[in-house]
């Protein structure tokens, strides 16, 4: 309103905010600010929320509010889930040089991200007190809205974490609430810091075998990878939902929709043979050309 209409915030009245103005603002976001459909829709959701509230606070202008509420969100293209295969995860972790202290920290960090299916922020916020490495070993994660969930840890992961904690003296009581994975300044990592570490090893792994490493890999890809591997191993979606901390099973179902291997296997199990005989690629005994060639071998 300030840059396009010349109206500063202190002179802005609700009468100035009409449907055409809101539509113009949303188009300005995308044309001038180069925002995505998702960003546009987030702004629209905030505007909708405010004017839904005004319907009850100022019902005398309900027509104006409902015109604004009639603005539709833009459809967003659904992005495919980017994840690594099991071989891809192994190759990635093999790139870490564990002969030095920093490499051992990176191994503990990235392997825990994968093993626990944690979000990046959940790993950043972890402290040593969130771990229980005695059997049964668990990590306590705090997700969105500070919702707590307990994730079991595998024996191999416990060994890596135990060695890392002892080496860095994080088992001392004074470090209970310190960052489990501090950066070189002893502070919490940032999201970009963890992405930088991951990308370093991703690039090395891609040089070794580009077919195993997709072009777009982010820290969240490790979480996607864990979910896909559990699904492919036959783990129930309900358990995967609880591991990932999803509110509803519908969110977790994106992995089932993305798993082409399971779709193919399901279709193969349900397949009924209706193809004409001449189009089948069956036994060699039905290949007349091959049989004729074999008969002529003794001539």
The DSSP call for residue 234 is: T
Dmax over CA atoms of the chain, in Å, equals 102
Which pLDDT tens digit goes with each residue over 24-76?
Answer: 999 999 999 888 888 899 999 999 999 999 999 999 999 999 999 999 988 87
- Cβ-contact 243, 230 below 8 angstroms: yes
Give SS3 for 113: helix
Per mean pLDDT, which range of 104-108, 190-194, 214-218 is the poorest? 214-218
223 annotated active-site: yes
| DSSP one-letter string for 132-193 | E-SSSPEEEEE-GGG-EEEEE--HHHHHHHHHHHHHTTTTSGGGTTS-SSB-TTSSBPPHHH
How far apart, in Å, do the first and last CA atoms of the chain sit? 92
Whole-angstrom distance, CA of residue 215 vs CA of residue 200: 13
- Active-site entry in 223, 224, 226, 241: 223
Q: State the pLDDT confidence band at 184, using cuts at 50, 70 and 90.
A: confident
- Active-site entry in 83, 164, 201, 255: 255
- Cβ-contact 219, 120 below 8 angstroms: yes
The predicted structure's pLDDT at residue 276? 60
Whole-angstrom distance, CA of residue 164 vs CA of residue 160: 6
Provide the token pair at 219.
Answer: 């820290």
Which pLDDT tens digit goes with each residue over 129-162?
Answer: 999 999 999 999 988 777 889 999 999 999 999 9
The predicted structure's pLDDT at residue 150? 92
Q: How large is the average pLDDT for residues 84-99?
A: 95
Contacts of residue 59, Cβ cutoff 8 Å, sequence gap at least 6? none
Alpha helical stretches, state H, the chain: 2-5, 19-31, 37-57, 62-69, 86-94, 101-116, 120-124, 155-167, 191-208, 219-232, 237-244, 249-258, 260-269, 288-295
220 annotated active-site: yes
The predicted structure's pLDDT at residue 147? 85
- Active-site entry in 48, 119, 226, 229: 119
- Active-site entry in 101, 144, 147, 159: 144
Among candidate residues 116, 137, 123, 124, the one with its CA nearest the CA of residue 230: 116
- Percent residues over pLDDT 90 in the chain: 62
| Beta bridge partner(s), residue 188 | 182
The predicted structure's pLDDT at residue 87? 94
Domains and CATH numbers, the chain: 2-69 (no CATH), 86-261 (1.10.443.10)
Which pLDDT tens digit goes with each residue over 268-290?
Answer: 665 555 556 555 555 556 667 77
Report the C-alpha dihedral over residues 266, 270, 276, 280, rounded to 10 degrees.
Answer: 40
286 annotated active-site: no
CB atoms within 10 A of CB 64: 17
The predicted structure's pLDDT at residue 204? 95
- Cβ-contact 253, 241 below 8 angstroms: no
Q: How large is the average pLDDT for residues 107-111?
A: 96
Whole-angstrom distance, CA of residue 180 vs CA of residue 130: 9
Q: How large is the average pLDDT for residues 254-266?
A: 65
The predicted structure's pLDDT at residue 111? 96
Instruction: Give the residue carrying structure tokens 């659904």.
Output: 78
Higher pLDDT, 281 or 217: 217
**Mean pLDDT, the chain, whole residue set:** 87
Burial category of 106 from C-beta neighbours within 10 Å (exposed 0-12, middle 13-18, buried 19 and up): buried
Give SS3 for 33: coil
- Active-site entry in 105, 206, 224, 246: 246
246 annotated active-site: yes
Please give the model's pTM, rounded to 2 decimal places.
0.67
257 annotated active-site: no
Q: State the pLDDT confidence band at 177, using cuts at 50, 70 and 90.
A: confident
CB atoms within 10 A of CB 48: 18
- Cβ-contact 76, 30 below 8 angstroms: no
Antiparallel, parallel or unpaired: β 138-142 and 131-132: antiparallel
The b-or-e profile of 233-249 (16+ CB within 10 A means b, else e) is eeeebeebbebbbbeee
Q: State the pLDDT confidence band at 246, using cuts at 50, 70 and 90.
A: confident
- Active-site entry in 19, 61, 140, 220: 220
The DSSP call for residue 131 is: E
């Amino acid at each position: 309103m300030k840059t396009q209409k010349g109206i500063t915030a202190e002179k802005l009245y609700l009468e100035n905010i009409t449907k055409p103005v809101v539509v113009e603002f949303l188009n300005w976001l995308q044309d001038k600010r180069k925002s995505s459909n998702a960003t546009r829709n987030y702004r629209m959701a905030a505007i909708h929320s405010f004017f839904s509230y005004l319907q009850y606070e100022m019902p005398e202008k309900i027509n104006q509010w409902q015109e604004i509420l009639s603005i539709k969100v833009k459809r967003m293209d659904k992005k495919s889930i980017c994840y690594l295969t099991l071989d891809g995860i192994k190759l990635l972790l093999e790139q870490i040089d564990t002969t030095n202290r920093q490499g051992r920290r990176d191994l503990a960090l990235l392997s825990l991200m994968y093993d626990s299916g944690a979000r990046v922020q959940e790993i950043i916020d972890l402290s040593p007190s969130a771990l229980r490495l005695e059997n049964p070993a668990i990590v306590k994660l705090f997700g969105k809205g500070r919702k707590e969930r307990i994730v079991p840890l595998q024996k191999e992961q416990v060994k890596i974490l135990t060695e890392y904690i002892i080496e860095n003296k994080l088992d001392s009581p004074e470090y209970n609430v310190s960052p489990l994975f501090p950066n070189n300044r002893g502070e919490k990592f940032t999201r970009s810091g963890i992405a930088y570490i991951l990308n370093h090893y991703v690039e090395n792994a891609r040089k070794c075998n580009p077919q195993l490493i997709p072009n777009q890999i982010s820290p969240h890809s490790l979480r996607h990878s864990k979910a896909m591997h559990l699904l492919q191993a036959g783990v129930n979606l309900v358990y995967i939902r609880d591991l990932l901390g999803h509110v509803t099973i519908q969110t977790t179902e994106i992995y089932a929709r993305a798993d082409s291997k399971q779709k193919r296997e399901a279709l193969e199990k349900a397949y009924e043979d209706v193809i004409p005989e001449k189009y089948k690629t069956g036994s060699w005994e039905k290949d007349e050309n091959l049989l004729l060639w074999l008969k002529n071998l003794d001539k």
